[in-house]
Structure 1
């Protein structure tokens, strides 16, 4: 069982089946789905429940940790912050989405910083990376804000809704963290 993580304004906790309706509502928004690599639109019935169950099992296996990003002030679910582990290589991929009503409030950056800390300090990873569509600069701004460095652009790397999309990749290694850097908790 994964434990809860905290930041100043947020609680990152395991998803619960009771979150399914909110996940479907937020992730199923066309604007959210269009900027992610894997979220479908329209969001199929039952998909949120299946995804939550799979996420809980993956966490039990240590393969992926998906956290519900929840505001402390009102316990409102605002998004997802996940880290998928490639244990053999001691690295992980950071992935996230924030519901459209909560865009522009710094929640993704705040939660991503905590996930980077979790990855390096608790999972003892060597490397964390992330990818975003080039048409989603808000996403790679989060990557930059947590200390990741640009690693390259892969032209027409994925197909989303019948269109090829370019992906931009960012990453960091444990050694990239400045000695004086302290994470806000």
Structure 2
């Protein structure tokens, strides 16, 4: 993982994580206006409109510069194609943050979420000096849980029937990892 502070990019073996641009709104809309993605995410609206994409993207740079939330586009290193998004929140009071991500359905199963999440975890620990990083996922989405396991995260708890999604309740599984250098 190589972090470029000036350009706010993270480069991995296959990916470049970069800030979203307004020009990404069409691709974001195409990827997010997908029922299978919606049913596995906590906050993504459905149907997803271009207005949703623009209103989401417009706050990214300000949040990044204010050290509140770091939201990156997950893109192909060679072609620049957008695969998804990954974010890291910053709770300065507790020196921790949450990872959240989504990958467009056409790109599932290629390891992009894991590669991006490994990079964002390193960014959290090495660049931002977090003590802990955590994540949540629906029990009905074990693929997301496998991504977190690959990061070395441990299951810390299950919130039973914690979220109502489409007239059914979902268990929310919490996972976390402590910065090994901070021990």
TM (normalized to structure 2)? Answer: 0.93
* Structure 2 residue corresponding to 1:152, chosen from 138, 152, 157: 157
1:32 match: secondary structure: helix
Q: Is the 8 A contact 1:155 1:166 kept in 2?
A: yes
Change (3 A) 1:69 1:156: same
Higher relative contact order (CA 8 A, sep 6+): 1
Q: Partner residue of 1:8?
A: 13
Change (3 A) 1:93 1:146: same
Q: Is the 8 A contact 2:100 2:135 kept in 1?
A: yes
Aligned pairs for 1:121-140 (under 5 A) are: 121-140=126-145
Report Cα offsets for 1:65-108 as digits up to 9, x if no partner: 00000011211000001001111100000000000000000000
Change (3 A) 1:75 1:168: same
Distance across 2 between alignment mates of 1:22 and 1:16? 11
Extract unaligned runs of 5+ from structure 1: 179-185
Q: Partner residue of 1:120?
A: 125
Q: How many residues align?
A: 178
Structure 1 segments of 4+ aligned residues over 4 angstroms from their partners = none
2:46 match: secondary structure: coil
Q: Partner residue of 1:72?
A: 77
Kindly state the Cα deviation for residue 112 of structure 1 after the two structures are TM-superposed.
Answer: 0.2
Distance across 1 between alignment mates of 2:62 and 2:168? 32
Report Cα offsets for 1:159-184 as digits up to 9, x if no partner: 12232111111100102899xxxxxx
Does structure 1 residue 142 correspond to structure 2 residue 150? Answer: no
Distance across 1 between alignment mates of 2:63 and 2:29? 20
Extract unaligned runs of 5+ from structure 2: 1-5
Q: Is the 8 A contact 1:154 1:166 kept in 2?
A: yes
Point out the more displaced range, 158-167 or 32-41. 158-167
Does structure 1 residue 98 correspond to structure 2 residue 103? Answer: yes
* Structure 2 residue corresponding to 1:24, chosen from 13, 26, 29: 29
Distance across 1 between alignment mates of 2:172 and 2:181? 23
Change (3 A) 1:42 1:109: same
